[in-house]
Structure 1
């Protein structure tokens, strides 16, 4: 519902304008009245900044009342200036809160899209499993000996494929890549704020996905490697990258992963994946890489 504020003094000033004895006015007061009308016609101000707009209304009332009393122009301008500032505050608050509301709405839509996609993937996996089971049952009915051998092989293959598919599905959301060292998951400049080693709320949420993968694959270990850009001293960057790697390890342990399964290493500004001559390139270099070992094997050292 749109809230309408009409300053009494402004109405009084308009009414007196028709009389032969006009109230005192100034160009600043006229500008302030114009700003007020613009703010009053802005739905976002009424929605997101009602308190600030009421304060602006009261301030403009005082300026209009001074004008109606024919106070000195300097006094009118002083009150008009205060009102103009409060109007500006109301507009800025409305702008900021409106932007925050848009961001929140976009996040909700993104989460819903992700949920729908995962639901569809789960349904497809269920249908695939049901089809595979039906085929296996048909094969078992052909011959006893052949059926038993085939069933054993098919069961082992299904188990291995199901485990591989489950791991692939889990890692797909983390954009993992298979390398000679194992599966590598790269978290860009999203886990920490600039020059900080404390995980953000979003970083905690992202690491929970990795913790789920590790819980479901107890035969795999991880190496957490921290990297920075070249901004700052080498010693500072090395120390920061190690603290970030340790912060990831602590978070995983807090989520139920044994500390013996998580190793850490900070490399500072070494091993850049892009140049450090632009903000975009430096952002690519600020990262944490998680190396997930092959089943039952240690993580190979970086060459």
Structure 2
């Protein structure tokens, strides 16, 4: 290649890089989706019990990554990243459900084996034990199905702290801590969930944008969290199962530089405990 052609080639590469704006910025939602998928891919239960759902999560993630590499619209990237996260959740629930179904099959096979081998009197006792195991497995399967359905109905997201239900700013009047009808419906659905799962507790956390003083915002966020608590208590949920926190301007989920971002930050998050009633406190790193 001549010197002149080499120089022209270098100039062309520079212009291409300038036109592309350099490598795309990292996308938090895409990174989160990648992390969730990696956890699922390393989970042997999911790999063996829900390979189809896991493959769908991988495809959605790869699509999001391709859009990111191409510098596509952020909403398009995050749409496929969100789909990947939901597919991972479905894969996890499917794996647990299939495992429960396998347990039912094993229990039934054990019952048949014992009936054939044991003497008549012993077989009756063994059959009773096997039926109890079968009943427990069926209940566990049904419980897993019900939980998956109820979580879907609540539109809750699974996080490291547990299931999180987000009540947006539109469910409150501006600068007020009174739930609007839509917020009341969401609280009523949550109350029904807590009645169905009495072993679960909730942590209600309020947040605001940066408009106004920090002290006022912290008080407003706590009042909004308390409004949700009062609604749950009014629906028959014991106050001992409910904790509240008011964080004000802390822990934004979007930029406060735009109205859309500020609206996302004005929210109430309800964290639902694990089956032991435990909820991890929000870490300073979050």
Secondary structure (helix, strand or coil) at the match of 1:283 reads helix
Partner of 2:231: 251
Q: Does 1:231 align with 2:182?
A: no
Whether contact under 8 Å (1:183, 1:291) holds in the other structure is yes
Provide closer, same or farther for how the CA distance between residues 135 and 302 of structure 1 changes in structure 2, counting only shifts above 3 A: closer
Partner of 1:180: 160
Q: Report deviation, 1:171.
A: 1.6
1:83-108 alpha-carbon deviations (Å, 9 max, x no partner): xxxxxxxxxxxxxxxxxxxxxxxxxx
- Deviating more after overlay: 181-190 vs 217-226: 181-190
Q: Report deviation, 1:179.
A: 2.1
Q: Report deviation, 1:201.
A: 1.3
Q: Does 1:165 align with 2:145?
A: yes
Partner of 2:87: none
Q: Report deviation, 1:186.
A: 1.4
Q: Does 1:296 align with 2:269?
A: no
| CA distance in structure 2 between the aligned counterparts of 1:147 and 1:136, rounded to whole angstroms | 14
Q: Does 1:287 align with 2:264?
A: no
Instruction: Choose from 254, 258, 262 the match for 1:274.
Output: 254
Partner of 2:188: 208
Secondary structure (helix, strand or coil) at the match of 2:248 reads coil
Give the root-mean-square deviation of aligned CA atoms.
2.6
What 5-or-longer segments of structure 1 have no aligned partner?
Answer: 1-130
Secondary structure (helix, strand or coil) at the match of 1:159 reads helix
Calculate the TM-score normalised by the size of structure 1: 0.52
Whether contact under 8 Å (1:167, 1:213) holds in the other structure is no
What 5-or-longer segments of structure 2 have no aligned partner?
Answer: 1-100, 116-122
Q: Report deviation, 1:164.
A: 2.3
| CA distance in structure 2 between the aligned counterparts of 1:226 and 1:284, rounded to whole angstroms | 12
- Write the mapping of 1:1-303 to structure 2, written as runs, cut at 5 A: 140=111, 143-144=114-115, 150-303=130-283
| CA distance in structure 1 between the aligned counterparts of 2:159 and 2:105, rounded to whole angstroms | 35
Partner of 1:13: none
| CA distance in structure 2 between the aligned counterparts of 1:238 and 1:214, rounded to whole angstroms | 27
Whether contact under 8 Å (2:206, 2:269) holds in the other structure is yes
Q: Report deviation, 1:136.
A: 9.2
| CA distance in structure 1 between the aligned counterparts of 2:190 and 2:170, rounded to whole angstroms | 15
Secondary structure (helix, strand or coil) at the match of 1:193 reads coil
| CA distance in structure 1 between the aligned counterparts of 2:127 and 2:170, rounded to whole angstroms | 52
Whether contact under 8 Å (2:202, 2:271) holds in the other structure is yes
Whether contact under 8 Å (2:107, 2:133) holds in the other structure is no
| CA distance in structure 2 between the aligned counterparts of 1:164 and 1:135, rounded to whole angstroms | 16
Calculate the TM-score normalised by the size of structure 2: 0.55
Q: When the two structures are aligned, how many residues end up with a matched partner?
A: 173
